Structure 1
Amino acid sequence: MFHSSNRAASSHGTSRQTTFGRTTSRRSILLAPLVAAALLLTSCGGEAPQSEGEADADKAAASSAKPVADTGAGERLQVATTFTVLADMASEVAGDHADVVSVTKPGAEIHNYQPTPQDIARTRNADLLLRNGLNLELWFEKFLARLDGVPEVVLSDGVEPISITSGPYDGKPNPHAWMSPASATIYVDNIAEAMAAADADNADYYRANAERYKGEIEATLGPLHEELDSIPEDKRWLVSSEGAFSYLARDLGLKELFLWPINADAQGTPQQVRHVIDTVRANDIPAVFSESTVSAKPAQQVARETDALYGGVLYVDSLSEADGPVPSYLDLLRVTTETIVAGLTRGLEQQQQSASQ
């Protein structure tokens, strides 16, 4: 399923699923001859044979590559994004002047996603492709190579990255910068400028939506800071499965501990679990958490063996379906932070009750 969101600026929290229409794109490129020529060059160039999936992708692109009519000034901008969080951000900026789609579906694990031929065929009419960058979309370059000249924009440009400090990605940037509200406003500015450049007639509209939306992002976590302040400083730990919360932990003043640094790495090895168990015990940490796109079993094992509270599921890489707990980016920020605060609070109460017995 190819998921998308088309949200008017005045209708927060609502969206509909659609795909790009074949006559609504602003691109007026005749794709069929280009795809045919590319396939001919590949067959004559003596390159290594394609895998079955790559061949299917080329067939899908070629079969759907019909001439796209230029329908003039009434067209809507067509924007594709690599995952649902970015799609929701882009939808807030786009309002009712653009259609926004996500390649990956709600709930998907995005680090090692494998694009399908259908993904490629359905994004061929995009005027603009938005991605995170910071080495998040490991599958992206192959995906982009199979689209025909769609301009791309990296939304994390301008963000000060936090480095991963362990594992095979030691020294690489942590890609989850959208988990910081301050960084997210940079994403929103980049989205607005990308849309303004692609659709100059509506540039002021996109920028106005961006300013409104940035204010909403900045206000989302305000009430939760006071609740965190009531937790003793030495208990303010964020223990998770993936090290995806470095930016949020920094913004909230939490110390961070995780089982593995990034989902592209090995997950829940005995060594990783033992290290976290030892650290939780040594620091008497009250709660541990997991993420929605990975198995909760390693985090739950840590909780059992340390008598810490298992605080529940956090959201980071993907939104839920519309009827789920985090259908929007603002919901993702709010629900995740509320879960952290509630887990630490209940875990601390549990520790205090045990100590009094």
Structure 2
Amino acid sequence: MLRIAFTALLLTTAALPAIAQDKLKVVTTFTVIADMAANVAGDAADVVSVTKPGSEIHGYSPTPRDLVAASDADLILWNGLNLELWFAQFLNNLGDVPAATVSDGITPIPISEGSYEGQTNPHAWMGADAAMIYVDNIRDALSNADPEHATTYAANAEAYKAEIRAVLEPLRARLASLAEDRRWLVTCEGAFSYLARDFGLREMYLWPMNTDAVGTPQQVRRVIDGVRDNAIPVVFCESTVNTDPARQVARETGARYGGELYVDSLSEAGGPVPTYLDLLRVTSETVANGLAGTE
């Protein structure tokens, strides 16, 4: 299937993309959904993202230009699950623009601590199983908005799901082969609960959400104790946040710092994760290599 380079169509404060008037215009809240939607849409629709590569999406503040650029959208796709805390007001300001929540039907994982305790962990796109639901929801939203191309969207969705499986299944098998006491995923933000659940990993993190308190002494001490108590060999952090707290945990416990994981945003086209498939592959390989001691 032809890979769609959606990153050329980002909403920025510079020149806006030229959208063909006879195509469906789809606006998404962040780059991961934009790339997924672009692959399901193929050539039948144009997809743009409100946030840019590398952006921290939880507390994003939409600009007037974002509103203007999205005002003629035929469809808006958003994650939901309390991820885009800014989205309700953004959509209200747009007026009567159809919107679809691409996480509908996901079995949620609750946040277990912090000020968001009991609320849903919003990072469901990181789950191998949830990814298929995302693709199906995107397919259905595009088909409802543009029935003429429903067959195209359905075919593209099936091909794309096969690509996602091809990336994740070997890594799932590799992680399953590790000794159970090595299957710990220690990160800065608790953004990998769905990946951990699907890959059979136990999870520990410094803070539950990037909108919560981050890197406090209490958080660092708790994780240091957990890493020591469980003899965890490696810790990680996310690409969009300060990695110093995770590096401190590594220094004080003798664990290795395994590197940055990607979750909330894609990179620019020349970066390490310009597509969602790259994000899944690079993040999962980094985890697998770290736990196996083969970085």
TM interval, short-chain normalised? over 0.9
Structure 2 regions of 5+ residues with no counterpart? Answer: 10-15
Counterpart of 2:219 in structure 1 is: 272
Counterpart of 2:8 in structure 1 is: 17
Counterpart of 2:208 in structure 1 is: 261
Provide the alpha-carbon RMSD of the alignment. Answer: 1.5
1:122 is aligned, of 66, 69, 73, to: 69
| Distance apart, 1:20 and its partner CA | 5.3
| Distance apart, 1:15 and its partner CA | 4.2
The one-letter code matched in structure 2 to 1:194 is A
Residue 171 and residue 302 in structure 1: after superposition, are their counterparts in 2 closer, same or farther (change >3 A)? same
Counterpart of 1:337 in structure 2 is: 284
Residue 13 and residue 120 in structure 1: after superposition, are their counterparts in 2 closer, same or farther (change >3 A)? closer
For 1:95, what is the secondary structure of its paired residue?
Answer: helix
For 1:96, what is the secondary structure of its paired residue?
Answer: helix
Counterpart of 2:135 in structure 1 is: 188
Provide the rounded CA distance (Å) in 1 between the counterparts of 2:73 and 2:246.
Answer: 40
Residue 23 and residue 207 in structure 1: after superposition, are their counterparts in 2 closer, same or farther (change >3 A)? closer
Residue 120 and residue 261 in structure 1: after superposition, are their counterparts in 2 closer, same or farther (change >3 A)? same
Which stretches of structure 1, 4 residues or longer, exceed 4 Å deviation after superposition?
Answer: 20-23
Question: For 1:231-287, what per-residue CA distance to the aligned partner results, in whole angstroms no more than 9, with x for missing partners?
Answer: 211111000000000000011111000000011100000000000000000110000
1:205 lines up with 2:152 in the alignment: yes
| Distance apart, 1:13 and its partner CA | 6.2
For the 8 Å contact 1:241–1:299, the answer to whether it is kept is yes
List aligned pairs for 1:170-189, cutoff 5 A: 170-189=117-136
Question: For 1:31-57, what per-residue CA distance to the aligned partner results, in whole angstroms no more than 9, with x for missing partners?
Answer: xxxxxxxxxxxxxxxxxxxxxxxxxxx
Identity %: 61
1:227 lines up with 2:218 in the alignment: no
Question: For 1:155-209, what per-residue CA distance to the aligned partner results, in whole angstroms no more than 9, with x for missing partners?
Answer: 1100000010111111101000000121111111111111111111111111111
Structure 1 regions of 5+ residues with no counterpart? Answer: 1-9, 25-74, 350-357
- Give the alignment's TM-score, normalised by structure 2: 0.95
| Distance apart, 1:230 and its partner CA | 3.8
Provide the rounded CA distance (Å) in 1 between the counterparts of 2:175 and 2:265.
Answer: 25
2:231 is aligned, of 274, 278, 284, to: 284
The one-letter code matched in structure 2 to 1:213 is Y
For the 8 Å contact 2:189–2:205, the answer to whether it is kept is yes
For 2:150, what is the secondary structure of its paired residue?
Answer: helix
Provide the rounded CA distance (Å) in 2 between the counterparts of 1:211 and 1:221.
Answer: 16
Counterpart of 1:243 in structure 2 is: 190
For the 8 Å contact 2:7–2:269, the answer to whether it is kept is no
- Kindly name which structure, 1 or 2, has the bigger radius of gyration based on alpha carbons: 1
For 2:209, what is the secondary structure of its paired residue?
Answer: coil
Q: Which has the higher contact order (CA 8 A, sep 6+)?
A: 2
For the 8 Å contact 2:6–2:35, the answer to whether it is kept is no
- Give the alignment's TM-score, normalised by structure 1: 0.78
| Distance apart, 1:224 and its partner CA | 1.7
